[in-house]
Amino acid sequence: MLARAVPRLPGTRALPGGTVYEPKYDGYRLLVFRTAGRVFLQSRNGRDLTGGFPELARAAEALGEDVVLDGEAVIETAGRLDFGALQQRTGRRPDTVARLARRQPAHLIAFDLLHRAGTDLLTRGYGDRRAALESLFRDHDLRAPWSLTPNTPDPGLARAWAEEWAASGVEGVVAKGAGQPYLPGRRGWQKYRHTDTAEAVVGAVTGSPARPETVLLGRYTPEGELRPVARSTPLAPPLRRELAGLLTPAGPGHPWRDLRISSHWGSRTPLEITPVAPDLVAEFRGDTAVDRGRWRHPVRLHRLRTDLSPGEVPAHQA
């Protein structure tokens, strides 16, 4: 079951049976199947990730009963959830994965129980499934690598999670209806992402300088190298017009002249960009999914900061 993005935190009556809120984690969505003595870990798009998370597979096997769990696989680095560390687990040799698992073990933050001991729970409401999930944790006294996500009917507490836990890798809040059944593939839940504003240098555009469609933003390292940090969603018409009057085509020494960047995170399809002179500073609004100084999701350009020079933009922090 999926969630659709919403611009504000849903109210307490927004979803069937009353709204319940859970933190949204910066990790890998994972379905854990422990059925007929076999363990299978499945990604959101159906990929087999069992080999990438042997510690989670062993923990599922140790349950000793048939279950299907829904949750988020996470790895922590220096007090923050590390999406890059998760990516290192896929497509690697078993000995490499085993070494990574010993160095940085993954955890499974469980938030739904779909099947247990021959009982299909899909048609039951979220409230009933949550009670069954809590019972599973109690019955097995589950500890690391298992973790039970907190939930609350209090929107004030949910908003505090989104704002105060952002630094640790919580992207926002998922809102679920207490009476909702589990609908595979349907966007019946709602997700609200906490966003912050930041500044960066406009280093390239899609489209053309005369008709920009999106922008590629960068920040300078302490050594003076301009690194890409974010790409924008399609620009609003007023911003397109404003940018078109200010952008200057890049000269031959532009640092991104030969840059190759993917069209979206995890894709190998190249994004066609046109470098521009890195003279303009823009303020943008992005969520908290930032990996080594780079925003993983597209950001929304808020305004141009003609009052700032590129040298006043915060330095790139890998």
pLDDT tens digits, one per residue of 259-272: 887 766 555 677 88
How far lies 176's CA from each of 43, 66, 132, 171, 191, in Å?
Answer: 21, 25, 16, 16, 9
- Tell me the CA end-to-end span of the chain in Å, nearest whole number: 34
pLDDT at 278: 95
pLDDT reported for residue 51: 96
* Residues 62, 90, 162: CA angle, nearest 5 degrees: 80
Contact 264, 2 (CB under 8 A): no
Is 110 within 8 Å of 148 (Cβ atoms)?
yes
Longest dimension (CA), the chain: 66
Judged by DSSP in three states, 219 sits in strand
Helix (H) or strand (E) holding 30: strand 28-35
Angle CA(289)–CA(130)–CA(11) in degrees, nearest 5? 60
pLDDT of residue 264: 61
Assigned architecture for domain 2-193: 2-Layer Sandwich (3.30)
Separation between Cα atoms, residue 141 and residue 311, nearest integer Å: 54
Architecture of the 196-312 domain? Beta Barrel (2.40)
Active site residue 24: yes
- Counting as low any pLDDT under 50, the low residues of the chain are none
> Active-site residue among 10, 19, 24, 278?
24
**Which burial class, exposed, middle or buried, applies to 173 when counting CB atoms under 10 A from its CB (0-12, 13-18, 19+)?**
buried
Query: Half-sphere exposure of 22 toward its Cβ, with a 13 Å CA cutoff?
Result: 21
- Say what the pLDDT of residue 117 is: 87
Task: Name the burial class of residue 94, with classes exposed (0-12), middle (13-18) and buried (19+) by CB atoms within 10 angstroms of its CB.
Answer: exposed
C-alpha distances in Å from residue 54, one per residue of 26, 85, 97, 105? 20, 15, 8, 9
CA 134 – CA 21 distance, rounded (Å) = 16
At residue 290, the pLDDT reads 85
**Residue ranges of the domains in the chain?**
2-193, 196-312
